[in-house]
Amino acid sequence: MIKLYLYIIIIPLSMLALESVNTNGIFKKNRIPFIKILFLMLSFALSYLVVNFLIDFADCINSIK
């Protein structure tokens, strides 16, 4: 259940972070839908990595105690 809450918090934060990337020089013009799909996929992937890192980190901390 804690993973769900973390995903709810991390996904919007990763989307916000990815908005700061300047895509004008990377993509062709008039490819806005594809850029949005890519950012959505990158956001989910980044969120997956961050949430799993936080869960693993918490497990390591709990095993030390």
Q: For residue 28, is pLDDT > 90?
A: no
Summarize pLDDT for 48-59 with one digit per residue, the tens. Answer: 999 999 999 999
pLDDT above 80 (res 65): no
Q: What is the CA radius of gyration of the chain?
A: 16
With a pLDDT cut of 90, the percent of the chain lying above it is 68
Q: What is the pTM of this model?
A: 0.83
- Assess whether pLDDT exceeds 90 at residue 4: yes
Q: Confidence class of residue 22 from pLDDT cuts 50, 70 and 90? A: confident
**Cα separations in angstroms, 55 against 20, 21, 27, 59, 60:** 27, 27, 35, 6, 9
